[in-house]
Amino acid sequence: MRPYSKAIVGIVFSVSTSLAAMWVMSRFPGMEIPIPYWIFGFFAPLFISTPVCLLLARQVEQKRRLTESLQKAMAELRHLSEIDQMTGLFNRASFLRRLEQARAAAPGVCLLIDVDHFKTINDRWGHATGDQALTAIAGSLRRSVRANDICGRMGGEEFAIYLLGMTGDSGAVLADRIRLAVETLSIRNDEGHAVPLTVSIGCAADENAATTEILLRRADLAMYAAKAAGRNQIRLAA
């Protein structure tokens, strides 16, 4: 029941109680109550209880709105604490926490993705262009995976994805699709020059990993194998 509805109930209760008490008293011999007293018995509690009940109702409503605002603010802060502000993906801590939860539900495939020659992009085209590249790649990752997959930025130019319920072969197919999608991205620096983007991806199936740390380590080794083999390719963990 809304606060102002409760206030009306309180007012009606106050008036009714006063009149009921007067009616009971009037039933005793010699206790007849004149009409003016009945009128007073009606209006006195009405005038007293109405402002009190309305004030209390207003305070309750203000408290309710304040509580909702605080809950909304806390939810937004909680969301912001989980998100990498530049890319909009999960940050490292949030990704690892969700990865643990997802692995407990079902095995999948972990991808570690590193942007090729990112230092060269920053040095040659500037950090603003580097940030633009990271944002563009993050958007490409989001578009390439399913809604229930977990996608995060591990730090710097490294990203990670957990593909829920996938096998190593299907994960490798999607990883190569991600690689091709990044390769076709088109970004330009402030002078209008096109900046080439590629990534190297390590792919590790969860069924062979005893712990999350081992899973990430296997994906990391596969990613470095892809970079050592010439970059812009994927490697499956052994």
3-state secondary structure of 192: coil
Compute the distance between CA of residue 163 and CA of residue 69 in angstroms, rounded to an integer.
36
Catalytic residue among 76, 157, 158, 207: 157
Compute the distance between CA of residue 180 and CA of residue 199 in angstroms, rounded to an integer.
9
Compute the distance between CA of residue 147 and CA of residue 160 in angstroms, rounded to an integer.
15
DSSP H or E segment with residue 108: strand 108-115
157 is catalytic: yes
DSSP letter (8 states) at residue 31? -
Structure tokens at 42: 């009606």
Structure tokens at 32: 């007849």
Backbone φ, ψ for residue 24 (5° rounding): -65, -45
Catalytically active residues are 157
